[in-house]
Protein backbone atom coordinates (compact mmCIF):
# COMPACT_ATOMS: atom_id res chain seq x y z
CA UNK A 1 0.00 0.00 0.00
CA UNK A 2 1.38 3.40 -0.95
CA UNK A 3 1.45 6.36 1.43
CA UNK A 4 -1.25 7.94 -0.65
CA UNK A 5 -3.47 4.91 -0.26
CA UNK A 6 -3.02 4.94 3.49
CA UNK A 7 -4.38 8.45 3.88
CA UNK A 8 -8.04 9.34 4.16
CA UNK A 9 -9.32 10.79 0.89
CA UNK A 10 -9.52 14.56 0.70
CA UNK A 11 -12.98 16.05 0.85
CA UNK A 12 -14.07 17.56 -2.44
CA UNK A 13 -14.23 21.37 -2.54
CA UNK A 14 -18.03 21.27 -2.69
CA UNK A 15 -18.12 19.43 0.63
CA UNK A 16 -16.27 22.20 2.43
CA UNK A 17 -18.33 24.72 4.32
CA UNK A 18 -19.21 27.41 1.81
CA UNK A 19 -19.61 30.99 2.93
CA UNK A 20 -23.02 32.38 2.09
CA UNK A 21 -23.31 35.18 -0.44
CA UNK A 22 -23.33 38.83 0.56
CA UNK A 23 -27.04 39.36 -0.11
CA UNK A 24 -27.93 36.22 1.85
CA UNK A 25 -25.86 37.44 4.81
CA UNK A 26 -27.52 40.86 4.59
CA UNK A 27 -30.87 39.17 5.18
CA UNK A 28 -30.05 36.31 7.55
CA UNK A 29 -26.68 36.81 9.29
CA UNK A 30 -26.80 37.06 13.06
CA UNK A 31 -30.32 35.66 13.46
CA UNK A 32 -31.45 32.43 15.05
CA UNK A 33 -33.41 30.13 12.76
CA UNK A 34 -36.36 30.04 15.17
CA UNK A 35 -37.50 33.33 16.70
CA UNK A 36 -40.05 34.51 19.23
CA UNK A 37 -43.64 33.74 18.18
CA UNK A 38 -42.30 32.17 14.94
CA UNK A 39 -41.68 35.65 13.59
CA UNK A 40 -39.83 36.00 10.27
CA UNK A 41 -38.35 39.35 11.31
CA UNK A 42 -36.26 39.88 14.43
CA UNK A 43 -38.64 41.18 17.12
CA UNK A 44 -38.24 44.58 18.77
CA UNK A 45 -37.51 43.97 22.45
CA UNK A 46 -38.73 47.37 23.64
CA UNK A 47 -37.66 47.39 27.27
CA UNK A 48 -35.15 49.30 29.35
CA UNK A 49 -34.48 46.51 31.84
CA UNK A 50 -34.76 42.71 32.14
CA UNK A 51 -36.26 40.69 34.99
CA UNK A 52 -34.63 37.76 36.82
CA UNK A 53 -36.76 34.75 37.70
CA UNK A 54 -35.25 34.39 41.16
CA UNK A 55 -32.10 34.95 43.23
CA UNK A 56 -30.43 31.87 41.76
CA UNK A 57 -30.65 33.38 38.30
CA UNK A 58 -29.15 36.61 39.63
CA UNK A 59 -26.16 34.69 40.99
CA UNK A 60 -25.86 32.65 37.80
CA UNK A 61 -25.47 35.94 35.93
CA UNK A 62 -23.30 37.93 38.36
CA UNK A 63 -21.09 35.14 39.74
CA UNK A 64 -21.00 32.52 37.02
CA UNK A 65 -21.25 34.58 33.84
CA UNK A 66 -24.53 33.24 32.50
CA UNK A 67 -25.25 34.87 29.15
CA UNK A 68 -28.38 36.98 29.38
CA UNK A 69 -29.54 40.61 29.34
CA UNK A 70 -29.72 42.80 32.43
CA UNK A 71 -30.08 46.50 31.56
CA UNK A 72 -30.73 48.30 28.30
CA UNK A 73 -27.50 50.29 28.30
CA UNK A 74 -25.54 47.03 28.23
CA UNK A 75 -27.33 45.70 25.18
CA UNK A 76 -30.60 44.24 23.94
CA UNK A 77 -31.50 41.22 21.77
CA UNK A 78 -32.32 43.27 18.66
CA UNK A 79 -29.01 45.10 18.96
CA UNK A 80 -27.04 41.86 19.16
CA UNK A 81 -28.51 40.63 15.89
CA UNK A 82 -27.54 43.90 14.20
CA UNK A 83 -23.98 43.63 15.55
CA UNK A 84 -23.57 40.05 14.35
CA UNK A 85 -24.94 40.90 10.92
CA UNK A 86 -22.69 43.93 10.45
CA UNK A 87 -19.67 41.89 11.54
CA UNK A 88 -20.55 39.23 8.97
CA UNK A 89 -20.88 41.80 6.19
CA UNK A 90 -17.64 43.59 7.07
CA UNK A 91 -15.57 40.46 7.55
CA UNK A 92 -15.00 41.30 11.22
CA UNK A 93 -14.73 39.17 14.35
CA UNK A 94 -16.96 41.53 16.30
CA UNK A 95 -18.98 44.73 16.13
CA UNK A 96 -20.53 47.33 18.45
CA UNK A 97 -23.43 49.53 17.34
CA UNK A 98 -24.06 53.06 18.61
CA UNK A 99 -26.70 55.76 18.64
CA UNK A 100 -24.87 57.69 15.87
CA UNK A 101 -21.79 57.60 13.70
CA UNK A 102 -20.06 60.30 15.76
CA UNK A 103 -20.78 58.38 18.95
CA UNK A 104 -19.01 55.41 17.38
CA UNK A 105 -16.01 57.51 16.34
CA UNK A 106 -15.56 59.36 19.62
CA UNK A 107 -16.08 56.30 21.84
CA UNK A 108 -13.63 54.27 19.75
CA UNK A 109 -10.95 56.96 19.88
CA UNK A 110 -11.34 57.43 23.63
CA UNK A 111 -11.20 53.67 24.16
CA UNK A 112 -7.80 53.24 22.49
CA UNK A 113 -5.90 56.35 23.67
CA UNK A 114 -4.43 57.34 27.02
CA UNK A 115 -3.14 60.66 28.32
CA UNK A 116 0.23 61.36 26.74
CA UNK A 117 -0.61 59.49 23.52
CA UNK A 118 -0.44 60.96 20.04
CA UNK A 119 -2.50 60.31 16.92
CA UNK A 120 -2.23 61.16 13.23
CA UNK A 121 -5.24 62.14 11.13
CA UNK A 122 -5.55 63.27 7.51
CA UNK A 123 -6.80 66.74 6.67
CA UNK A 124 -9.64 65.45 4.49
CA UNK A 125 -11.42 63.73 7.38
CA UNK A 126 -14.96 64.65 8.38
CA UNK A 127 -15.11 68.13 9.91
CA UNK A 128 -16.46 67.03 13.30
CA UNK A 129 -13.94 64.20 13.56
CA UNK A 130 -11.09 66.62 12.87
CA UNK A 131 -12.51 69.06 15.40
CA UNK A 132 -12.69 66.40 18.10
CA UNK A 133 -9.17 65.11 17.47
CA UNK A 134 -7.45 68.47 17.11
CA UNK A 135 -9.29 70.35 19.88
CA UNK A 136 -11.16 68.28 22.45
CA UNK A 137 -8.58 65.53 22.86
CA UNK A 138 -6.00 68.09 23.98
CA UNK A 139 -8.03 68.52 27.16
CA UNK A 140 -7.12 64.93 28.02
CA UNK A 141 -3.45 65.29 27.16
CA UNK A 142 -3.70 63.59 23.76
CA UNK A 143 -1.80 65.28 20.93
CA UNK A 144 -2.83 65.25 17.28
CA UNK A 145 -0.97 65.80 14.01
CA UNK A 146 -2.94 66.60 10.85
CA UNK A 147 -1.25 65.56 7.59
CA UNK A 148 -2.26 66.25 3.98
CA UNK A 149 -4.34 63.46 2.52
CA UNK A 150 -2.36 61.34 0.09
CA UNK A 151 1.07 62.49 1.29
CA UNK A 152 2.34 59.13 2.54
CA UNK A 153 5.84 60.45 3.24
CA UNK A 154 4.35 63.10 5.54
CA UNK A 155 2.17 60.44 7.14
CA UNK A 156 5.19 58.25 7.77
CA UNK A 157 7.20 61.16 9.18
CA UNK A 158 4.35 62.26 11.48
CA UNK A 159 4.38 59.02 13.50
CA UNK A 160 6.08 59.38 16.89
CA UNK A 161 7.05 56.90 19.61
CA UNK A 162 3.83 57.86 21.45
CA UNK A 163 1.58 57.57 18.38
CA UNK A 164 -1.31 55.25 19.12
CA UNK A 165 -3.12 55.21 15.77
CA UNK A 166 -3.57 56.67 12.28
CA UNK A 167 -7.09 57.78 11.35
CA UNK A 168 -8.51 58.53 7.92
CA UNK A 169 -11.52 57.98 5.68
CA UNK A 170 -11.93 56.32 2.32
CA UNK A 171 -13.62 57.71 0.33
CA UNK A 172 -13.42 61.11 1.98
CA UNK A 173 -16.03 63.84 2.19
CA UNK A 174 -16.61 65.77 -0.06
CA UNK A 175 -13.87 65.12 -2.65
CA UNK A 176 -14.11 61.32 -2.50
CA UNK A 177 -10.37 60.83 -2.17
CA UNK A 178 -9.32 57.20 -1.87
CA UNK A 179 -6.75 56.11 0.71
CA UNK A 180 -4.21 53.55 -0.48
CA UNK A 181 -4.90 50.98 2.23
CA UNK A 182 -1.86 48.87 1.38
CA UNK A 183 0.42 51.89 1.96
CA UNK A 184 -1.45 52.68 5.16
CA UNK A 185 -0.94 49.13 6.40
CA UNK A 186 2.78 49.22 5.54
CA UNK A 187 3.33 52.48 7.45
CA UNK A 188 1.35 51.25 10.45
CA UNK A 189 3.19 47.92 10.52
CA UNK A 190 6.55 49.70 10.32
CA UNK A 191 5.73 51.82 13.38
CA UNK A 192 3.53 49.26 15.20
CA UNK A 193 0.52 51.59 15.42
CA UNK A 194 -3.20 50.96 14.98
CA UNK A 195 -5.20 52.01 11.92
CA UNK A 196 -8.77 53.33 11.97
CA UNK A 197 -10.76 53.93 8.79
CA UNK A 198 -14.16 55.58 8.48
CA UNK A 199 -15.65 53.58 5.60
CA UNK A 200 -19.12 55.13 5.58
CA UNK A 201 -18.92 56.27 1.97
CA UNK A 202 -17.64 52.95 0.61
CA UNK A 203 -19.77 50.49 2.63
CA UNK A 204 -18.90 46.77 2.87
CA UNK A 205 -20.36 46.25 -0.61
CA UNK A 206 -17.64 48.34 -2.26
CA UNK A 207 -14.67 47.96 0.08
CA UNK A 208 -13.73 46.01 3.20
CA UNK A 209 -10.71 47.69 4.80
CA UNK A 210 -10.20 44.86 7.29
CA UNK A 211 -9.08 42.70 4.37
CA UNK A 212 -6.21 45.16 3.83
CA UNK A 213 -5.01 44.89 7.43
CA UNK A 214 -6.88 47.88 8.89
CA UNK A 215 -7.53 47.34 12.61
CA UNK A 216 -10.87 49.08 13.15
CA UNK A 217 -13.50 50.17 10.64
CA UNK A 218 -16.19 52.71 11.47
CA UNK A 219 -19.54 53.35 9.79
CA UNK A 220 -22.28 55.88 10.13
CA UNK A 221 -25.10 53.35 9.71
CA UNK A 222 -27.41 56.34 9.34
CA UNK A 223 -26.35 56.40 5.69
CA UNK A 224 -26.27 53.44 3.29
CA UNK A 225 -26.56 50.62 5.81
CA UNK A 226 -29.96 51.73 7.16
CA UNK A 227 -30.71 53.46 3.89
CA UNK A 228 -34.05 55.20 4.48
CA UNK A 229 -33.14 58.55 6.06
CA UNK A 230 -35.11 57.65 9.17
CA UNK A 231 -32.63 56.67 11.91
CA UNK A 232 -29.28 57.62 13.42
CA UNK A 233 -26.81 54.80 14.08
CA UNK A 234 -23.10 54.01 14.06
CA UNK A 235 -20.85 50.97 14.25
CA UNK A 236 -17.25 49.92 14.81
CA UNK A 237 -15.94 46.61 13.47
CA UNK A 238 -12.71 44.74 14.02
CA UNK A 239 -11.04 41.94 15.92
CA UNK A 240 -12.53 40.96 19.25
CA UNK A 241 -9.76 42.23 21.55
CA UNK A 242 -10.06 45.79 20.21
CA UNK A 243 -13.84 45.81 19.92
CA UNK A 244 -14.09 44.63 23.53
CA UNK A 245 -12.16 47.74 24.63
CA UNK A 246 -14.65 49.91 22.76
CA UNK A 247 -17.63 47.98 24.11
CA UNK A 248 -16.46 48.43 27.71
CA UNK A 249 -16.30 52.22 27.35
CA UNK A 250 -19.55 52.22 25.36
CA UNK A 251 -21.35 50.75 28.38
CA UNK A 252 -20.06 53.58 30.55
CA UNK A 253 -20.68 56.45 28.12
CA UNK A 254 -24.15 55.20 27.22
CA UNK A 255 -24.39 56.04 23.53
CA UNK A 256 -26.68 53.05 23.15
CA UNK A 257 -28.92 52.51 20.14
CA UNK A 258 -32.52 51.76 21.04
CA UNK A 259 -34.24 48.51 19.99
CA UNK A 260 -36.58 50.16 17.50
CA UNK A 261 -33.65 51.80 15.69
CA UNK A 262 -31.93 48.41 15.60
CA UNK A 263 -35.02 46.91 14.03
CA UNK A 264 -35.02 49.61 11.34
CA UNK A 265 -31.30 49.09 10.77
CA UNK A 266 -31.88 45.36 10.28
CA UNK A 267 -34.73 46.12 7.91
CA UNK A 268 -32.47 48.41 5.91
CA UNK A 269 -29.66 45.87 5.76
CA UNK A 270 -31.96 43.37 4.04
CA UNK A 271 -32.15 45.55 0.92
CA UNK A 272 -28.74 47.20 1.35
CA UNK A 273 -26.91 45.30 -1.44
CA UNK A 274 -29.76 45.98 -3.88
CA UNK A 275 -29.84 49.67 -3.05
CA UNK A 276 -26.07 49.98 -3.19
CA UNK A 277 -25.90 48.35 -6.62
CA UNK A 278 -28.44 50.86 -7.93
CA UNK A 279 -26.68 53.81 -6.30
CA UNK A 280 -23.31 52.71 -7.69
CA UNK A 281 -24.74 52.51 -11.22
CA UNK A 282 -26.68 55.76 -10.96
CA UNK A 283 -23.71 57.67 -9.56
CA UNK A 284 -21.48 56.55 -12.41
CA UNK A 285 -24.12 57.51 -14.97
CA UNK A 286 -24.69 60.91 -13.38
CA UNK A 287 -20.95 61.56 -13.02
CA UNK A 288 -20.41 60.97 -16.72
CA UNK A 289 -23.39 63.19 -17.56
CA UNK A 290 -22.10 66.01 -15.39
CA UNK A 291 -18.56 65.70 -16.73
CA UNK A 292 -19.88 66.50 -20.20
CA UNK A 293 -22.25 69.32 -19.16
CA UNK A 294 -21.30 72.87 -20.24
CA UNK A 295 -22.34 74.34 -16.86
CA UNK A 296 -19.92 72.15 -14.88
CA UNK A 297 -16.32 73.08 -14.13
CA UNK A 298 -15.20 69.76 -12.66
CA UNK A 299 -16.58 66.46 -11.38
CA UNK A 300 -15.11 64.37 -8.54
CA UNK A 301 -16.02 60.69 -8.63
CA UNK A 302 -13.52 57.84 -8.13
CA UNK A 303 -15.12 55.84 -10.92
CA UNK A 304 -14.10 58.48 -13.46
CA UNK A 305 -10.70 58.29 -15.13
CA UNK A 306 -10.27 62.00 -14.31
CA UNK A 307 -10.33 61.40 -10.55
CA UNK A 308 -6.80 61.63 -9.06
CA UNK A 309 -7.23 58.33 -7.19
CA UNK A 310 -9.05 56.38 -9.88
CA UNK A 311 -6.34 53.72 -10.14
CA UNK A 312 -6.31 53.12 -6.39
CA UNK A 313 -10.10 52.90 -6.37
CA UNK A 314 -10.06 50.33 -9.18
CA UNK A 315 -7.49 48.25 -7.32
CA UNK A 316 -9.22 48.08 -3.94
CA UNK A 317 -12.93 48.77 -4.57
CA UNK A 318 -15.62 46.75 -6.30
CA UNK A 319 -17.87 49.79 -6.74
CA UNK A 320 -17.39 53.54 -6.38
CA UNK A 321 -20.29 54.63 -4.20
CA UNK A 322 -23.39 56.75 -4.54
CA UNK A 323 -21.93 60.24 -4.01
CA UNK A 324 -20.83 62.58 -6.80
CA UNK A 325 -19.21 65.94 -6.03
CA UNK A 326 -18.92 68.68 -8.62
CA UNK A 327 -18.16 72.36 -9.11
CA UNK A 328 -20.39 74.66 -11.12
CA UNK A 329 -19.13 77.38 -13.38
CA UNK A 330 -20.12 80.74 -11.97
CA UNK A 331 -20.47 82.23 -8.51
CA UNK A 332 -22.07 81.58 -5.13
CA UNK A 333 -25.33 82.96 -6.53
CA UNK A 334 -25.12 80.48 -9.42
CA UNK A 335 -24.96 77.64 -6.90
CA UNK A 336 -27.92 79.00 -4.95
CA UNK A 337 -30.01 79.40 -8.13
CA UNK A 338 -29.14 75.83 -9.12
CA UNK A 339 -30.33 74.48 -5.77
CA UNK A 340 -33.49 76.59 -5.83
CA UNK A 341 -34.47 75.26 -9.27
CA UNK A 342 -34.29 71.57 -8.33
CA UNK A 343 -37.66 69.81 -8.30
CA UNK A 344 -36.83 66.16 -7.52
CA UNK A 345 -33.60 66.25 -5.51
CA UNK A 346 -33.99 67.38 -1.90
CA UNK A 347 -31.66 70.03 -0.48
CA UNK A 348 -30.48 68.25 2.67
CA UNK A 349 -27.35 67.00 4.43
CA UNK A 350 -26.60 63.29 4.82
CA UNK A 351 -26.51 60.61 2.14
CA UNK A 352 -27.15 56.96 1.43
CA UNK A 353 -30.93 56.92 1.65
CA UNK A 354 -33.46 56.01 -1.02
CA UNK A 355 -34.13 59.69 -1.74
CA UNK A 356 -31.58 61.72 -3.72
CA UNK A 357 -30.13 64.48 -1.55
CA UNK A 358 -27.98 67.42 -2.54
CA UNK A 359 -26.03 69.85 -0.38
CA UNK A 360 -23.90 72.97 -0.73
CA UNK A 361 -20.98 72.59 1.72
CA UNK A 362 -20.15 76.31 1.73
CA UNK A 363 -23.53 77.26 3.21
CA UNK A 364 -24.33 74.06 5.14
CA UNK A 365 -21.29 72.36 6.68
CA UNK A 366 -18.91 75.34 6.53
CA UNK A 367 -21.31 78.23 7.13
CA UNK A 368 -19.30 79.27 10.19
CA UNK A 369 -16.04 79.68 8.23
CA UNK A 370 -14.81 82.71 6.36
CA UNK A 371 -14.43 82.41 2.60
CA UNK A 372 -10.65 82.36 3.02
CA UNK A 373 -10.90 79.53 5.56
CA UNK A 374 -13.24 77.57 3.33
CA UNK A 375 -11.03 77.88 0.28
CA UNK A 376 -8.02 76.75 2.29
CA UNK A 377 -9.98 73.53 2.93
CA UNK A 378 -11.04 73.25 -0.70
CA UNK A 379 -14.65 74.25 -0.04
CA UNK A 380 -15.34 76.62 -2.93
CA UNK A 381 -18.42 78.78 -3.51
CA UNK A 382 -19.78 76.48 -6.21
CA UNK A 383 -18.92 73.06 -4.76
CA UNK A 384 -21.94 70.71 -4.69
CA UNK A 385 -22.27 67.23 -3.18
CA UNK A 386 -24.91 64.97 -4.70
CA UNK A 387 -25.98 61.77 -2.92
CA UNK A 388 -27.86 59.49 -5.30
CA UNK A 389 -30.97 57.70 -4.13
CA UNK A 390 -32.71 54.89 -5.97
CA UNK A 391 -35.02 56.90 -8.21
CA UNK A 392 -34.84 56.29 -11.96
CA UNK A 393 -31.53 57.77 -13.00
CA UNK A 394 -33.08 59.43 -16.07
CA UNK A 395 -35.37 61.42 -13.78
CA UNK A 396 -32.44 62.53 -11.62
CA UNK A 397 -30.46 63.62 -14.68
CA UNK A 398 -33.46 65.51 -16.08
CA UNK A 399 -33.85 67.39 -12.80
CA UNK A 400 -30.14 68.27 -12.63
CA UNK A 401 -30.10 69.34 -16.28
CA UNK A 402 -33.05 71.71 -16.06
CA UNK A 403 -31.70 73.28 -12.84
CA UNK A 404 -28.22 73.68 -14.35
CA UNK A 405 -29.58 75.36 -17.48
CA UNK A 406 -31.74 77.78 -15.49
CA UNK A 407 -28.90 78.69 -13.11
CA UNK A 408 -26.45 79.28 -15.97
CA UNK A 409 -28.73 81.75 -17.79
CA UNK A 410 -28.41 84.41 -15.06
CA UNK A 411 -24.71 84.09 -14.44
Catalytic site positions:
73, 126, 198, 223
d(CA 282, CA 303): 12
d(CA 44, CA 380): 45
- For 240, list phi and psi in degrees, rounded to 5: -55, -45
| Strand partners for 163 | 118
HSE (side-chain half, CA atoms, 13 Å) at 254: 3
Cβ contacts of residue 60 below 8 Å, gap of 6+? 66
Question: What one-character DSSP code corresponds to residue 10?
Answer: P
Computed on alpha carbons and rounded to an integer, the radius of gyration of the chain in Å comes to 23
CA distances from 160 to 124, 144, 217, 353 (A): 21, 11, 23, 40
- For 60, list phi and psi in degrees, rounded to 5: -60, -35
CB 296 within 8 A of CB 182: no
d(CA 405, CA 407): 6
d(CA 352, CA 173): 13
d(CA 311, CA 183): 14
CB 350 within 8 A of CB 223: yes
CB 351 within 8 A of CB 223: yes
d(CA 89, CA 25): 7
d(CA 52, CA 183): 51
Amino acid sequence: MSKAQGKAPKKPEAAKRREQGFSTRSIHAGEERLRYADSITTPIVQTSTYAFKDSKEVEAYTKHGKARFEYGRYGNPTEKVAERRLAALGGAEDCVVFSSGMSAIITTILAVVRSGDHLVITDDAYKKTLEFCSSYLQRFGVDCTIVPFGDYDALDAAVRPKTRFIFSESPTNPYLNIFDLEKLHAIAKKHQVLTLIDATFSTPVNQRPLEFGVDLVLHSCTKYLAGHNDILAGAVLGRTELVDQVRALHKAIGGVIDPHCCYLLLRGLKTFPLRMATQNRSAMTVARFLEGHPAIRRVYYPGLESHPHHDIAKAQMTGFGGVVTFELKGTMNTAKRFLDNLKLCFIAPSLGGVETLITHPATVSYYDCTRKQRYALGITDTLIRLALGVEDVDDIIADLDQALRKSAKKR
